[in-house]
Amino acid sequence: MMVVIRVQEPDFDVGAEVAGLSAGRDDVGAIASFVGLVRADKASSDSAVQVMTLEHYPGMTEKALGDIVEQAQTRWQLLGVRVIHRVGRLVPGDRIVFVAVSASHRGDAFAACEFIMDYLKTRAPFWKKEESEQGGRWVDARETDDTAAARWERP
């Protein structure tokens, strides 16, 4: 399987990343992708977010993302996965995360894409700090993210 995992400051080209999953091959029948963006209207802050800073744990981040992709591979029939997560200083409207999965059939692509995002949210070592007119604050983890990840746990 073709796996690309990148943790980077610069933006990425969604079209080029999606196209990369099927370039030069004729066995891909489906590509599902997700793009996460920085929102201005965070519920945790009374005033609009002006800047979002992403911190991570270099080394562990790539390892954690690799483990998540590996788990996805054991659950679904996949042909390729691309995960890109930005770090550093971002502003509302900026792309922050990208996950795309290619497979022969859409069911595997959709499910694996959602699984990877749910696990990334709760297991990959990234932390967001919001800055608004009221100052800076670290974003609290959300229980709904734990619930979303728990859905995938086998009985």
Nearer to another protein, 27 or 140 (CB): 140
- The DSSP 8-state label assigned to residue 5 in this structure reads E
Nearer to another protein, 104 or 122 (CB): 122
d(CA 76, CA 104): 11
Q: Quick one: which segment of 8-16, 70-78, 105-113, 138-146 binds another protein (CB under 8 A)?
A: 138-146
| Token code pair at residue 149 | 């990840």
Nearer to another protein, 44 or 77 (CB): 44
What region, left, alpha or beta, does residue 112 occupy, with left being phi > 0 and alpha being psi -120 to 50 degrees?
A: alpha
Which one of 1, 2, 91, 141 is in contact with another protein (CB under 8 A)?
141
Angle at 45 (CA atoms; ends 39, 48), nearest 5 degrees: 50
**Under the criterion CB under 8 A, does residue 121 sit at the interface with another protein?**
yes
CB 3 within 8 A of CB 80: yes
Which one of 36, 51, 76, 95 is in contact with another protein (CB under 8 A)?
36
Q: Which residues bind another protein (CB under 8 A)?
A: 36, 54-57, 59-60, 63-64, 85, 96-97, 117, 120-129, 138-141, 145
